[in-house]
Amino acid sequence: MTYFDTLSHEELQAMVSRYPWWSSARMELLRRRLADSNVGSRSEMTLTSGEDALIARLHPTATIPLQHVDIARLTQLTPDDLIERFLKRDDYRIVAESGNAEDLSHVEIDSEDDLVSEELAEIYLNQGLYDDAIDTYRKLSLLNSEKSIYFAELIARIEDKKNR
């Protein structure tokens, strides 16, 4: 036996009027009204505008309209989720082999002189050592591939100057 079973219909109505936010009492009152054969339709069981306004004033979030929730969007997997699921299914991780890898990024120069610079090539050019300047620019072209066109133009100018 619950507390509501001890109350009469009028006492329960008074309880709901006094505490309109008490949803358990309201549900019991609505259950009793539905079971009562005197109720002509369900429309008699709905809240009156005064009760609705009172509930809205006491509980402001009660009047917030429900928004549509896109279930497919909520359950859609993100790219990170897909990657994690893929990696957990089988061991597809790429792991580097143990040991030291050979460094292939450096270009080897066939000369004994490893120290070359544009300044050194200009010094050779100013001294009239055209062959040494051309060799230096060729080495620089191998070391600095992004400037190879620039060095090729300089080499062409030096060879023109040398042949005059």
pLDDT digits (tens, 9 = 90+) for 106-130: 666 555 556 888 999 999 999 999 9
Model confidence pLDDT, tens digit, residues 19-36:
888 888 888 887 887 777
Q: Is the pLDDT of residue 70 over 70?
A: yes
Residue 112 falls within a domain, yes or no?
A: no
Residue 34 falls within a domain, yes or no?
A: yes
Which is nearest to 120 in space by CA: 105, 147, 140, 102? 140
* pLDDT for position 145: 85
| Helix, strand, coil share (%) of the chain residues, nearest 5 | 65, 0, 35
- C-alpha distance from residue 42 to each of 1, 52, 58, 97, 149 (Å): 27, 16, 25, 75, 89
Single out the residue in 31, 63, 95 at which a domain terminates.
63
Is this model's pTM higher than 0.75 or not?
no
- Residue range(s) defining the domain that contains residue 51: 3-63
CA dihedral (60, 26, 19, 22) positive or negative: negative
Residue 97 falls within a domain, yes or no?
A: no
Residue 69 falls within a domain, yes or no?
A: no
Single out the residue in 22, 39, 63 at which a domain terminates.
63
Residue 129 falls within a domain, yes or no?
A: yes
Residue 8 falls within a domain, yes or no?
A: yes
Structural contact between residues 143 and 107, judged by C-beta atoms closer than 8 angstroms: yes
Residue 147 falls within a domain, yes or no?
A: yes
Residue 123 falls within a domain, yes or no?
A: yes
Number of folded domains in the chain?
2
As a whole number, mean pLDDT of residues 37-43 equals 53
User: What is the distance between the alpha carbons of residues 112 and 93, in angstroms, rounded to a whole number?
Assistant: 44
Q: Is 128 left (phi over 0), alpha (psi -120 to 50) or beta?
A: left
Structural contact between residues 158 and 135, judged by C-beta atoms closer than 8 angstroms: no
